[in-house]
């Protein structure tokens, strides 16, 4: 299935056209932002988990649950791709200049795996260490947005990915995370 009309398709075309004249060196550098963003989120999670283990708080186990939720969300994202069977926008609008090579035919678009992983990690960080929200949330948004800017995803692909990752991780943490009960309530930090 190819999406060629609707708000998401129009937004994709506008964004890709707006950045088409970006110098090659800048677009090549910016195309690496999603991978860098995911690395930042993983390092923050590792730091949060490490400090949780050292301080004997639920954040240590919570970090492992966030990793499990991220893997589960990624697997569900891959399964959804097979069900939805939506082609990449760079195939639907082949005349547009994009920052990355268009993935091969059969590499489906909906939902975005990068965005799913970013949403899962950022949500876990927000729940485990709320003070990291100022870094985690914008980083996840940049990861998702850059997949559209790079020309390989529609906006609805990245929004669905962010929501899928966030939902799975939040549900897993709420259902399985250990709680400190010093004041009758639970807390993460």
**H/E run at residue 74:** helix 59-84
The mean predicted confidence, pLDDT, of the chain is: 88
Burial 14-41 (b: 16+ CB within 10 A, else e): ebbeebeeeeeeebeeebebbeebbebb
Average pLDDT over residues 44-59: 90
Question: 116 and 157 in contact (C-beta within 8 Å)?
Answer: no
Digit-coded pLDDT (tens) for 11-20? 988 888 888 8
**Is the peptide bond between 111 and the residue preceding it cis, with omega within 30 degrees of 0?**
yes
Question: 145 and 32 in contact (C-beta within 8 Å)?
Answer: no
pTM, two decimals, is 0.88
Digit-coded pLDDT (tens) for 73-120? 999 999 999 999 998 898 888 777 777 788 888 889 999 999 999 999
Q: In whole angstroms, what is the distance from residue 139 CA to residue 42 CA?
A: 11
Query: Which DSSP string do the residues of 122-136 spell out, in sequence order?
Result: HHHHHHH-GGGHHHH
Residue 184 has pLDDT above 50, yes or no: no
Q: In whole angstroms, what is the distance from residue 103 CA to residue 94 CA?
A: 12
**Residue ranges of domains in the chain, CATH in brackets:** 7-176 (1.10.606.20)
Tracing tokens 């195309």 back to the chain, one arrives at: 31
């Amino acid at each position: 299935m190819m999406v060629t009309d609707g708000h998401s398709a129009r937004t994709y075309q506008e964004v890709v056209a707006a950045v088409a004249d970006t110098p090659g060196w800048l677009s090549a550098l910016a195309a690496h932002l999603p991978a860098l963003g995911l690395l930042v989120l993983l390092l923050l999670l590792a730091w949060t988990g490490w400090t949780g283990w050292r301080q004997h708080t639920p954040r240590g186990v919570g970090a492992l649950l966030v990793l499990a939720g991220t893997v589960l969300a990624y697997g569900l994202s891959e399964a959804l791709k097979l069900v939805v069977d939506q082609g990449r926008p760079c195939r639907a609008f082949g005349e547009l200049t994009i920052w990355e090579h268009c993935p091969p035919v059969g590499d489906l678009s909906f939902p975005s795996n990068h965005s799913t992983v970013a949403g899962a990690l950022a949500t876990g960080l927000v729940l485990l260490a709320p003070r990291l929200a100022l870094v985690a949330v914008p980083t996840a948004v940049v990861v998702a947005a850059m997949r559209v800017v790079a020309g390989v995803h529609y906006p609805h692909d990245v929004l669905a990915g962010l929501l899928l990752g966030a939902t799975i991780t939040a549900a897993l943490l709420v259902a399985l995370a250990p709680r400190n009960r010093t004041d009758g309530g639970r807390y993460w930090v």
